[in-house]
Every structure is written in structure tokens, then in C-alpha cells.
Structure 1
Amino acid sequence: MEQRKVFINPQNNLLQLEEPIYKLVEVDQPNTFRNLFPYDEIPKIAFNDRIVPHNFPDEIFITDTTFRDGQQSRAPYTTEQIVTIYDYLHRLGGPKGIIRQCEFFLYSKKDRDAVYKCMEKGYKFPEITSWIRASKKDFELVKEIGMKETGILVSCSDYHIFYKMKMTRRKAMEHYLNIVRECLDTGIAARCHLEDITRSDIHGFVIPLCYELMKLSKEYNLPVKIRACDTMGYGVNFPGAVIPRSVQGIIYGLISHAGVPSKWLEWHGHNDFYKAVVNSTTAWLYGAAAVNCSLFGIGERTGNTPLEAMVFEYAQLKGSLDGMDTTVITELAQYYEKEIGYKLPSRTPFVGQNFNVTRAGIHADGLLKNEEIYNIFDTEKFLNRPVRVAISNTSGLAGIAHWINSYFNLKDKAVDKNDPLVVKVKEWVDKEYEEGRVTVITDEEILSQISKVKKELGIDTW
């Protein structure tokens, strides 16, 4: 038996045993991990307490699937809408191109028109890439359009290999390797989308496949990127959880056993179990350079990792926005609501109508004294969204005073909660609820009442 080598790990200067080479494990029956995924029960999270080290890449970035996965769950965008959103993404990503790529469909004339018009912009970032069916004809189309990279569907769980594709693992591997070779033959870099990785046999199929893909990359001297797709949202970030559900376990295996460079490794998460954001952050922390997102999380079923969330995750991890213009997030939200007609849920972080609005009177009192007490950061600076209060039966004098000060931007001439104007408006609010009202007071109603009270009190400023 050949002995594995011992070498010094340059990252920590410790002796390390050479990682084993995993070979394809052919099976007669699919391994569907029924112990973890019993279909008639809730999926189980098991642990073996095998801990992998953090492996934060030198550079991390965001890739976008708004025009691909994001279009699979809603009415298609028009060509003009795609071009406008692409402009916004370019501005949001900043001069360093933190939003590194956007992927596009190429099937319809509308999609191709959008690609050509976005290419005419001449932006370095986001780079325009495609997602295609695995066929020679589609590879030629990618080359004709002038793209340097395309995504290819590579389903990797036995659910897909046996039940959907009706293949064995060996046949599936040969099929995928032939497809990627055809892509590389045209001079196009391949991005392999490993569908359903969190229900796949990581050591018995995924790592052997990726190891062979890396050999193809060396042969052609072209990148073969790996996108780890948590298609069903089963991934978990808990230390010591077992694969295939462990995000860090998957990333570690792809880097250490399959030899995938961090810069070619990407995480694509779904939100079925509310873990899309934390799993994407975990993928960054353990070695994936890229996380794949869609604007506002719009995507298949429960959606993808929201792009705007990962902008702020990036800043928290790196200690800097690195030139990203986060005010564009608010502009995008307004564009979606006013021009596209997409209504964002009001409590959505960063973009929802109520994300930095408080209703509790005691909170409003704190905001009036110092907004840092109840606001997550300077939302006016980063999102052009000053902190607000909504007026209800619990708002109190402080809430009404804060509403007036923020709405009219009365920084130097702020009204106090004991101001006669505030007291008069509070009397009207109290009367509304005493008479049986149960809904929040609208901005329009408050403005109307303020105008009326100002006349009564003879106030003509602001």
C-alpha cells in the first residue's frame, strides 16, 4: 500500500499528512441518505464533531443570478429592465467589482438582446456570463456572442443521477466530463453547477468528479469553476455537523481533497430552511471565494441568498465596503416597486418599508434621545433611509416628535416631545384609538393633522 506523504503546511507551518485521493464509488442502488432525509419526517441534522479550520480567502466576492435563477420564479424581465438592473449592479459593486459576475439565459431573442446591450456598456464588472444546456450547439452560441465563461448543469446527488437521469454514477461522471471537454474545446471556461450537493455522496462521487474536472482544467489551461449548489436548502453551518449537510465540510472537501482553488469555488444557496445567508457567509469563511446571490432573494421556491444581504455580510467580515455604493440598494428597491411592480415584504431587512421603522413608544423615546439606541447603523448614510417611527396608540409623545423631526429633517430645529404641536397631534391620535381605531396612522393623515394644528397655533416655519 502506497504511503501518503508528510509535508509542512505553509499556512500554519505544521506537519500535515497528504490528503487521500478519493475514487468514484459505484453503487447498485442510489444512496439517498434516508437516515438524514426520511421523506415522511422532518430532515435530521446529525453530528460527528469533526471540525474543519477556517480558511478565509484573500479575496471574496459576490456573483449574481438575478437574470437566471431569479427569472425562474417570476415573470420574465423585459430587455430594458435587465439592462437597467445591470447598470445598478455595476454601480453597487463599486470600482473593485465586488459584484464580479452576472449570469444570463441565452435561449430567447429577448435574453440575447439584453446580453448584447449590457455588453455595449463596456463594464469590466459585473462580467457577463451565461447558463446553458449542455450541448455543442449552445457552446457555439456562447462563443459566437463572445463570452469567456458559461455555467453548465451538473446534477450530483443520486436522486438526480438515478431517478432523473436514469444513469449510474460512472455513466454520469463520463457524461459530465465529456460535456465539459466539449465546452473547453471551444475555448470557453466552464462553471459546473453541482446541483443538489447537500444530498450527494461527497466522497463517493462529488470529490472524484471534481478531481477529474481539475485535471481537465490543467489539460486545457482554462478555468473549470465549481459552484456548490444547495438546491434544496439543506445545508447547515453548525460546527461538527456531518456531510452532506455541513457547508464547511463540503467546502473543505472540495479544496483539500479535490484540489479546487478557492478563487474557482462558489456557493449557491436556497432559503428553504431560513439558512441561505448564514450558509453563504460560512462558505466564505471556510474557503469559497464567491457566493452566488439574487436581488432581494428572488428565486426558485423560497428564493436564493439575497444579494443585498451579502453586501453587508462582506462589509462586516472585511471591515470595509471596499467602494460598494450601498445607497444603490434603496434605488433598486424603489425601481422594483415602482417600475417592475414587485412588492417587497415590508419587514425585509435593508429594503422593506418597515425595516428601520419602530412603533413602540418606549423605542421612539430612545430614538429621540439617540437614534443609535434602536437603529442597526446609520441607515440614512448607507441606504438613504433615515430611521422612522410609525404612529399608533403606543407611539406616545416621543414617537410623534421623532416622526416630525425625521420627516421634515429638523436636525437643528428639532421639536421636543413636550412641544405644543406634538401635544396637540397626540391628542388627535389618542382620540382616534379611543373611538375604536385599530390600524396604524398613515403618513398622509399625520401630515394633514400637523398642517391643521400649525394653523391653530400660528406656526409658519418648516
Structure 2
Amino acid sequence: MENRRVFLNRHNNLLQYEERIYPLVEVDTPNVFRNLFPYDEVPKIAFNDRIVPHNMPDEIWITDTTFRDGQQSRAPYTTEQIVTIYDYFHKLGGPKGIIRQSEFFLYSKKDRDAVYKCLERGYQFPEVTAWIRASKKDFELVKEIGLKETGILVSCSDYHIFYKMKMTRKEAMNHYLSVVRECLETGVAPRCHFEDITRSDIHGFVIPFCLELMKLGEEYGIPVKIRACDTMGYGVNFPGAVIPRSVPGIIYGLMTHGGVPSAQLEWHGHNDFYKAVTNSTTAWLYGASGVNCSLFGIGERTGNTPLEAMVFEYAQLKGTLDGMDTTVITELADYFREEIDYKVPSRTPFVGENFNVTRAGIHADGLLKNEEIYNIFDTDKFLNRPVLVAVSNTSGLAGIAHWINTYYKLKDKRAVDKSHPVVTIVKDWVDKQYDEGRVTVITDNELIKVIDEACKELNVNI
């Protein structure tokens, strides 16, 4: 106790003890937390009601893995597609570079060509970084290209250490540290990806490993970053949940016991249990400056934290977009549909074709009176996506009127209401369609044709 450093916590202005007191715990058999992960049962979420404080950093940001994890679950992007998407990220992140970094594979010529072309752009943000295995051979690729930072895979659960790598904890740690030291000796900043952290022995391996990494960073004068990887999506945000599943507990442990500063700490989540976005936001709230994301959540198995989701989480937490251009999100979605032939699921928040489309007639009536009633925010302003009403047998007069006003951009005195004669004619036509057995939504082209005919019949313009 007497040898522990006392320091001032700048977030709460209280003196605190340094709590770096956890040595490596070597074990003969792997600790796979069978009580939490029985495998032949659904995983357990247990609680001990140990609560840690919120500790959101002064600065938070987004990092991107679209070209790394995002390419592990789909056909690889072409070099040109990677460069185009990277340009979009630069525009989306704004002048403050809220999208701070983007990581790349280096193994194929296509990926290396993309890295060179992105570097030629000369953007400060997103910074181009690499991803490698904990291999000195892989590190040669980083040195060849001349990148300033690289991610290094350092699997930290006993599942990986014992079963995949066939090592002891000490052997694994020494192996990882040797690769990190080589990075530091050549002036490359290492970003250590703690794979499978939500099934790891936090106090017996993760924190002792962090302490060694922080010592290396101090020795070489180069910050070592830690990426906490919820590889299987087991993380939970509930206060009082036990580690290793507790996101607040992991972040608190890495910072308080492992000595990792917020600016050197980021979260990488997967969505196996539908918690990727919530867990990423939680990591921000409890001290991590970075959250690692993939565009549209495209990634292994159920995917990663969607980058576009964290753009809006950022705005909700900070009360500002800090210069991010959110209309780029719609441009990216259009690019994926038209150029990459990737269909974004229609109900995907912010980018799906139907995310702000309503079909219920009673909802359409509310939208006609005030769109705030059924729209999450001004989607036209932030995403160039005005709120829409799909016309079907349940749309009613209000839904048809709203569709006409939106499609033809009719506002104020030019807007039609549900008593307009054109609306009545269209409603009669729609009703006849469904009376005759139709089951699909009316298409835009069909509505345009019927509206044109109604206007000619009534000799009116809309």
C-alpha cells in the first residue's frame, strides 16, 4: 500500500491510489468459465452488483474496420471501391476527424495497392493503419509500406491460448511482447487487439499483460493502444454484471488496474446477441475513447458495430455532430446498392429503404399533420431522406396525400390534404386494386401514372 502512487483523477478531481497490483496467474488447465459458457446451454449473465463509475473521456471517436473485419464476411472489395469508400469516410468524419482511423489488410496486392492509393490522398483522417497477426513475418509488410501504426492480434482467452495456440499463458504473453517490442524498436505504434476478451481471465491474464505493454510504451516513448475485442458478442452493459462479460467492468479494469489511458483504449464489438451498438456506447461511457466499427455492421458472423449507428450515438452523447456530414451515410448506402450490388436490409436504421417509411393509415394521418409524430428526427436534413408513406390497402387518404406531398415536394399552400379530389381518385384506384386480390405495395411508377391521369381528368396541377 505504501508504494502505490497517488494521483489526481482529472474527471472527478479526487486523489486516487494507483491499483496496478495483479501479477500473471499461470494455470495448468484453461479457465474457460464453464459456469458462464456451458456451450450445451445458453450462456449465463451473472451479477455480483459491483458497480463502477461512469468515466466518459473528454474526447471520443470512431475507428473503422470496414476493410479488415468487414472483408472477412463478403466478397473482397476492389481497390477502386476501397479508395472510394475511404474518401466517403473522410467526408463523413468532418474537419475534426471523428472517424479517426481505418485499418487495412496487407496480405494481397489488391489490398496493398488500396493502402498506397489511400495514403496518396494525404488525409489526416482517417489515418491509414494495418492489421497483422502476432508474427514477425507479418510485421515486415508494415515496415515495407511505412505505416505509423498497426494492429496486432493478441488472443487473450484460454480458449485461444490453450486450444488454438497450444501455449501456456506465460508463453503467449512472451510471444506477444516480443512482436510488440519489435514494432516499437522500428518506431511503429502497436495497437494490441485483445481477441475474445469477454471470455478471458481479466485479472489473471489481461491486466498483467496490459501492465507489461504499458511499461514497453513508456520504455520506448510510444503509446501502446489496447483494443478490447468482444469477438463472440458476449459483452453486456448491465450495471453489476460479472466480468468477463461486463463491459463497464472490463473498461474499468483496463484503466484502473491495467493503467491504460482513455486515448489508448478502444472497444471492438460483435453483434451475436444484438448488443454491439449498446456495448460500444457503454465503452465510451466508462472510459474508452475509441469504438471500432464497420460500415453497415458488415463483419464476421452477425457483424460488427455499425459505423453509421455510432455517428448518431456520438451526436446524442455529445449534443453535437462536431462537423460530421451525415448525408454521406445515404451516399454510401446508395453506392453500395448501385456500384457494389450489396442490398442493405430494408429495415436497417438510417440506411434501409424503409427505415423512415410508414404503411399504417393512422400513422400517415399523423405524419400529414406533423411529421415529428412518427419520424425519429429531421431525416431529410441529416440524411437527405424525407419521411415517406408507402401506399397500400392500409394507407388511407392521409397516406396518399402524404406520399404526393413528399414525392412532388409540395409544401405550405401547395400541399394537398386528404380532401383533395386527386387524392380521392387515387384512393378509389388503390381500393379497387386490393379488392381484386392484390397483396403487394403500390409502386411509385404506378402512383405517378394514376396521379397524372387524375390531374388531366380534373384539369388541375399539383
Task: Pick the TM interval, shorter chain.
Answer: over 0.9
Matches within 5 A, 1:318-357: 318-357=318-357
Identify the residue that residue 394 of structure 1 maps to in structure 2: 394
User: Do the aligned partners of residues 9 and 353 (structure 1) sit closer, same or farther apart at CA in structure 2, a change above 3 Å counting?
Assistant: closer
Residue type at the aligned position of 1:297: G
Q: 2:66, 2:293 within 8 Å by CA — same for their partners in 1?
A: yes
Tell me the equivalent position of 2:192.
192
User: What secondary structure is seen at the aligned counterpart in 1 of 2:154?
Assistant: strand
Q: Which amino acid in the other structure matches residue 305 of structure 1?
A: T
1:364 is matched with which residue?
Answer: 364
Kept in 2, the 8 Å contact 1:139–1:186? The answer is no
User: What CA distance in whole angstroms lies between the structure 2 residues aligned with 1:297 and 1:368?
Assistant: 33
The residue aligned with 1:209 is: 209
Deviations 1:6-42 (A, max 9, x none): 6664543445444251000111110000100000000
| TM-score of the aligned structures, taking structure 1 as reference length | 0.98
Letter in 1 for 2:437: G
| SS of 1:437 mapped into structure 2 | coil
Partner Cα distance (1:250, 1:85) in 2: 32
Instruction: Verify: 1:19 aligned to 2:27, yes or no.
Output: no
2:133–2:153 CA contact under 8 A, matched in 1 = yes
Letter in 2 for 1:177: L
Contact 2:20 2:258 in 1 (8 A): no
Three-state SS of the structure 2 residue aligned to 1:340 is coil
Is 1:279 aligned with 2:284?
A: no
Greater alpha carbon shift after TM alignment, 126-135 vs 32-41 = 126-135
Equivalent in the alignment of 2:446: 445
Query: CA offset at residue 144 of structure 1?
Result: 2.5
The Cα shift of 1:43 comes to 0.3
* 65-74 vs 140-149, greater mean Cα deviation: 140-149
Native 8 Å contact 2:20 2:259 kept in 1 = no
Q: Does structure 1 residue 414 correspond to structure 2 residue 415?
A: yes
Shift of the alpha carbon at 1:133?
2.6
Residue in structure 2 matched with residue 49 of structure 1 by the alignment: 49
Pairing of 1:202-351 with structure 2 (within 5 A): 202-351=202-351
Task: Give me the whole-angstrom Cα distance separating, in 2, the residues matched to 1:338 and 1:10.
Answer: 49
In 2, distance between residues paired with 1:398 and 1:36?
52
CA contact (8 A) 1:85 1:332 kept: yes
Structure 1: gaps of 5 or more residues: none
1:141 deviates by 2.4
Q: Is the partner of 2:28 in helix, strand or coil?
A: coil
Per the alignment, residue 427 of structure 1 pairs with 428
Contact 1:49 1:241 in 2 (8 A): yes
Between 1:222-231 and 1:443-452, the stretch displaced more is 443-452
Q: Distance in 2 between matches of 1:335 and 1:133?
A: 31
Query: Contact 1:136–1:183 at 8 Å: present in 2 too?
Result: no
Residues 257 and 403 (structure 1), Cα distance of their counterparts in 2 relative to 1, 3 Å cut: same
C-alpha distance in 2 between matches for 1:138 and 1:172: 17
2:20, 2:211 within 8 Å by CA — same for their partners in 1?
no
Question: Matched residues in 2 for 1:127 and 1:205: separation?
Answer: 31
* CA offsets 1:346-370 (integer angstroms, 9 cap, x no match): 0000000000000011110010001
Q: 1:137 to 1:4 in 2, by over 3 A?
A: closer
Paired residue secondary structure (2:55): coil
SS in 2 for 1:405: helix
Q: CA deviation at 1:135?
A: 2.7
Q: Match for 1:457: what amino acid?
A: L
**Shift of the alpha carbon at 1:132?**
1.5
> In the TM superposition, what are the counterparts of 1:106-185 in structure 2 within 5 Å?
106-185=106-185
1:120-146 superposed Cα distances (whole Å, 9 cap, x missing partner)? 111000000001133333323212212
Bigger mean CA offset, 348-357 vs 181-190: 181-190
Whole-angstrom distance in 2 between the partners of 1:8 and 1:148:
32
User: Residue 406 of structure 1 aligns to which amino acid in structure 2?
Assistant: T
Structure 2: how far apart are the matches of 1:212 and 1:83? Answer: 37
- 1:230-267 deviations in whole A, cap 9, x for unaligned? 00000000000000000010000000001001001000
CA distance in 2: counterparts of 1:330 and 1:84, whole angstroms: 14
CA RMSD for the aligned pairs?
1.3
Q: In 2, distance between residues paired with 1:278 and 1:325? A: 23
Query: Residues 52 and 252 of structure 1 are in contact (CA less than 8 Å); yes or no, is this contact kept in structure 2?
Result: yes
SS, match of residue 226 in structure 1: strand
Q: Matches of 1:304 and 1:9 in 2, distance apart?
A: 33
CA distance in 1, matches of 2:5, 2:322: 41
Distance 2:169 2:436 in 1: 70
SS of alignment partner, residue 53 of structure 2: coil
Indicate conservation of the 8 Å contact 1:140/1:186, yes or no.
no
Determine the C-alpha separation between the residues in 2 that align with 1:7 and 1:248. Answer: 22
Structure 2 Cα separation of the partners of residues 8 and 315 of structure 1: 29
Q: Look up the equivalent residue of 1:448 and give its one-letter code.
A: K
TM-score by length of 2: 0.98
For each residue in 1:273-311, what CA deviation from the matched residue of structure 2 results, as whole angstroms up to 9, or x when unmatched? Answer: 000000000000000000000000000000000000000
Does the CA-based 8 Å contact 2:363-2:374 persist in structure 1? yes
Whether the aligned pair in 2 keeps the contact of 1:228 and 1:268 (CA below 8 Å) is yes
- For the residue of structure 1 that corresponds to 2:380, the secondary structure is helix
TM-fit CA distance, 1:452: 1.6
Q: Mean Cα displacement is larger for which, 119-128 or 432-441?
A: 432-441
Aligned length: 461
The aligned amino acid for 1:190 is P
Which residue type is aligned with residue 420 of structure 1?
Answer: P
Contact 1:92 1:329 in 2 (8 A): yes
Q: State the Cα deviation string for residues 182-203 of structure 1 (Å, max 9, x = none).
A: 1112211100000000000000
Query: In 2 relative to 1, CA 13–330 (structure 1 residues): closer, same or farther, beyond 3 Å?
Result: closer
Q: Does structure 2 retain, via aligned residues, the 8 Å contact 1:344–1:351? A: yes
**Structure 2 unaligned regions, length at least 5:** none
Whether 1:456 aligns to 2:448 is no
Aligned residue type for 1:287: G
